[in-house]
Each structure stands twice: as structure tokens, then as C-alpha cells.
Amino acid sequence: MTAKTSDIAILLAGKSHPHVSVRVGREFRAIEIGKGGIAALDEATRRAIRGAAVMARVDAAFVDALPALEIVSSFGVGYDHVDAAYCASRNVMVTNTPDVLSEEVADTAVGLLINTVRELPRAEKWLRDGRWKKDGAYPLTAATLRGRHAGIFGLGRIGLAIARRLEAMGLAVSYHNRRPVEGVAYHYHASLKDMAAAVDTLISVVPGGAATDRAVNAGVLEALGSDGVFINIGRGSAVDEQALIEALSAGTIRAAGLDVFADEPNVPEALLALPNACLLPHVGSSTQHTRRAMANLVVDNLVSWFDRGTVLTPVPETAGLKQE
Ligand code: NAP
Ligand code: 8YV
């Protein structure tokens, strides 16, 4: 701990990973935010805060309440809870935690796909409920991964890690982004709906936010078709959840596997009741190994900013900002 950084006040906002709290406490002057939020901090403390390690909403009011704020270091690669454009306009650097979680989240996505298509959670329940002994073998699944064609909505860092796994498993892979990815041989579709019509397995890995809001809508699900499987490992906001419930209920698509929801942790009763929905409580990156790597990156960005005036993983909106 240098004399310089130990004097710097860093706010811990939201339910911080314990390793973030420990390291921030060791390397900086940590300010815990209580139930009262920023408003409960005294003015001198608010004015002293130069950085924030967050797992919480950061809006204009948050930024304006902290006049000396230089950096928001957010836990997670998705930063739709941070108003990064506003931060940029106030010269506040924003960082996230890309790459260190990509392989873990891709593993989860593939597990969720297999569980959804091969009904493994339901087969396990069959065994645990004693039905294997009582009723015999679990019924053969109507769906298979064999011969499937996956369409990845969002071929970024995680999307690419999923694509590589699916390719190794013998699936055909296509993708839709706003722009084609250079150096990638997978077939590119300029339209999400056209891609949905061309594939039978749609995997959403796009960030949340206005640009992707309810992009997977009734028309896209209809295009996916009656053997269609939809997997969402990105953000719940990218799907029209009501349209998805209707498509699953009516057999417009076959099944869905969801790790993310529009209003977490509130999952609609209608989804809970559907046997063809395989549901996970947002566990894409949830291993001790990966969460610790994410926690380290949150603090490494703060250390780098206050030691050298640069960060390791800025979000695009603030990538050009310099320390004043
Ligand atoms: P990334 O590398 O930035 O990839 C995002 C991809 O989405 C890019 O290829 C981007 O391509 C595409 N995209 C963005 N907006 C789009 C739009 N409006 N239309 C079409 N394509 C669009 O991000 P990542 O590291 O792979 O992470 C992706 C997301 O996964 C995160 O933002 C987060 O929300 C989610 N996530 C979930 C979990 C979990 O636990 N379930 C864990 C980690 C991350 P273009 O810019 O060319 O369009
Ligand atoms: C985490 C995520 O669950 O990185 C992301 O965008 O969605 C997940 O890794 C989240 O950030 C914190 O709970």
C-alpha cells in the first residue's frame, strides 16, 4: 500500500464481491455505502470520493452526487446498469470486466443448451422421484443436438467462445451482429429475423440497453420455427418475455433455456409453469474462480488509474478519456 493510494477514498456501491472489499480496503480508503445510499454519506465524505467499485446502478444522480469522482469500476462485463455516456460527458472513466469470464459463460451456455434440448434436469427429477424404478426409462427426447444449426445473436468475446464449442460438437454456426466480424468463417446474417429463419437454435449473447431492447420478438420467434430452441445467456431485456411465453405455450418454438430475465430476480409465474423452459438464476459466470478474477480486475483498474492514469479495460464510451 503506497502512501498515495491509501489516502484515496473509494466507494463500494452495491453487493460487492468480498475480494473487492478486501482489496479496496487494503489498497485505498474504502467507503462502505449503507442502506441509505449515497444520500446517507456526509458531505465531506461524498466530496472526497475519487473512485467507485460498483455492482449497482450508476446514473446521472450518482455521478453528480460525487463531484471528485474520476472512475467507476464496474463488476461484470455487461454495464447496462451504468450510464456510461453520462460518465463520459463528466470525464468519469468507466471500466468493466471482459475476457476473464468469457470461457466460463460459454461453458454455462453450452450446458444450458444441452439441458434444454436433452431435458437433463427433467430426466434427473424422474430418477430422484423414483419414476425410473416405478415407470421405467425416461421418455426419449423429441429434440437432439444432432444436425442442429445455431445462430448466435452477438458474436463478441463470449459469442465466439460459444461458437467454437458448438463447432467442435458438430453444429453448424451462423451469426448476427451489426457488423460482420473480420477473420471469422461463420456465415453472417445482416438481419436477426433472417438468421432466425435460417437456423433452428438461436443463442442470444448481446448486451442489454436500448439498441437490443426486446430485439428477440414474436416475429423472430415465429421465424425460428416449431423445432426452434432459444437460449439466452446475454441479457433478459433483449427478449420480449411475454412473446417468448406465448411462443413456448403455443408450440411456435420447441423450448427455451434462460439464464437471464427482464426483471431479475423476478421470473414470471408463466415461465416457471412451462415444462419446455429450462431456467437458471443468472449463473453464467458464477464460479469462485471466475468471480475472483472479475473482482481482481475491478481493483486492478482502480490501482492502474491512480498509479498510472490509465486503465486496463475501459468501456468503449470512455476509452479516450485521460486523467485530468
Ligand atoms: P462483446 O464482446 O461486446 O460482444 C457483444 C456482441 O454483441 C458484439 O459482437 C456486438 O457486435 C453484438 N451487438 C451489440 N449490440 C448489438 C445490436 N444492437 N445488434 C446486433 N448485435 C449487437 O461482449 P461479451 O463480452 O461477449 O458479453 C456479451 C454480454 O453477455 C454482456 O454485455 C452481458 O450482458 C452478457 N453476459 C451475461 C453473463 C451471464 O452470467 N449470463 C455473463 C457475462 C456476460 P456489433 O457491435 O458489431 O453489433
Ligand atoms: C454477473 C454478468 O452475474 O458479467 C456480466 O455481465 O452478467 C455476470 O457475469 C454480473 O455481472 C454480476 O452479478
Cite the residue boundaries of each domain of the chain with CATH code 3.40.50.720. Answer: 9-100+288-318, 102-279
Q: Please indicate whether residue 105, judged by its CB atom, sits closer than 6 Å to ligand 1.
A: yes
Question: Is 244 in a helix, a strand, or coil?
Answer: helix
pLDDT of residue 34: 74
The pTM of this model reads 0.97
User: Superfamily assignment of 102-279 in CATH?
Assistant: NAD(P)-binding Rossmann-like Domain (3.40.50.720)
User: 260 C-alpha to center of ligand 2: Å?
Assistant: 10
pLDDT of residue 275: 97
Q: CB–CB of 82/54 below 8 Å? A: yes
pLDDT of residue 204: 99
> For ligand 2, atom 11, which residue shows the shortest CA distance?
76
pLDDT of residue 255: 98
9-100+288-318 is a CATH 3.30.1300.10 domain: no
Q: What's the chain's length in residues?
A: 324
Question: Is 319 in a helix, a strand, or coil?
Answer: coil
pLDDT of residue 168: 98
pLDDT of residue 1: 46
Q: Please indicate whether residue 285, judged by its CB atom, sits closer than 6 Å to ligand 1.
A: yes
Query: Count of alpha carbons within 13 Å of 225, Cβ hemisphere only?
Result: 11
Placement of cell 473512485 in the chain: 51
Give me the active site residues, please: 235, 264, 282
Query: Could you tell me the three cell numbers for 30?
Result: 474504502
User: 42 C-alpha to center of ligand 1: Å?
Assistant: 38
Query: Could you tell me the three cell numbers for 83?
Result: 450510464
Per-residue pLDDT of the chain (324 residues; tens, 9 = 90+): 455 788 999 999 998 899 999 999 999 999 998 777 898 899 999 999 999 999 999 999 999 999 999 999 999 999 999 999 999 999 999 999 999 999 999 999 999 999 999 999 999 999 999 999 999 999 999 999 999 999 999 999 999 999 999 999 999 999 999 999 999 999 999 999 999 999 999 999 999 999 999 999 999 999 999 999 999 999 999 999 999 999 999 999 999 999 999 999 999 999 999 999 999 999 999 999 999 999 999 999 999 999 999 999 999 999 999 887
pLDDT of residue 3: 52
Q: Please indicate whether residue 98, judged by its CB atom, sits closer than 6 Å to ligand 2.
A: no
User: 34 C-alpha to center of ligand 1: Å?
Assistant: 32
**Long-range contact pairs involving 259-265 (C-beta distance under 8 Å, separation at least 24):** 259/108, 259/109, 259/112, 259/232, 259/233, 259/283, 259/284, 260/232, 260/233, 260/234, 260/235, 260/236, 260/284, 261/236, 262/236, 262/237, 263/236, 264/236
